[in-house]
Amino acid sequence: GQQLNQSPQSMFIQEGEDVSMNCTSSSIFNTWLWYKQDPGEGPVLLIALYKAGELTSNGRLTAQFGITRKDSFLNISASIPSDVGIYFCAGRGSSGSARQLTFGSGTQLTVLP
């Protein structure tokens, strides 16, 4: 089956710093999604990417769909305390079981004041 490696597993940063996290896949995806999950809540969709090389922003968040179609990156600029949470990447292939979303293991972000 498809496997997603998400890194880093956790990050501790100072408020105001920029953050980068990434996901790599063992197979080609045609969609990459980035979600954020707060404690006790469901994941919230942040950014969706549909095309290799695509760069999409949502406020202070920017995500890119890697050219190889096997990776994606999420950057958060000028972090603030409410950025705290777990960030998940999710990818989707083009056929069979690969058409279901596969989730990365998450990056736990802590923003220190």
Partner 1 sequence: DSGVTQTPKHLITATGQRVTLRCSPRSGDLSVYWYQQSLDQGLQFLIQYYNGEERAKGNILERFSAQQFPDLHSELNLSSLELGDSALYFCASSVTGTDYEQFFGPGTRLTVL
Provide, rounded to whole angstroms, the least separation between the CB of residue 45 and partner 1: 6
Provide, rounded to whole angstroms, the least separation between the CB of residue 42 and partner 1: 3
Sort 12 into a burial class: Cβ within 10 Å, 0-12 / 13-18 / 19+. exposed
31 binds partner 1 (CB under 8 A): yes
Rounded CA-CA distance 42/79 in Å is 22
65 binds partner 1 (CB under 8 A): no
The window from 9-17, 29-37, 67-75, 77-85 that contacts partner 1 (CB under 8 A) reads 29-37
At 23 the three-state DSSP class reads strand
Among 5, 15, 18, 44, binds partner 1 (CB under 8 A): 44
**Residue written as token pair 């293991």:** 105
93 binds partner 1 (CB under 8 A): no
Rounded CA-CA distance 61/75 in Å is 6
> Before 39, cis peptide (omega within 30)?
no
Q: Which CB sits closer to partner 1, 53 or 99?
A: 99
Residues at the site binding partner 1, with contacts judged by CB under 8 A: 31, 33, 35, 40-45, 48, 50, 88, 90, 92, 97, 99-106
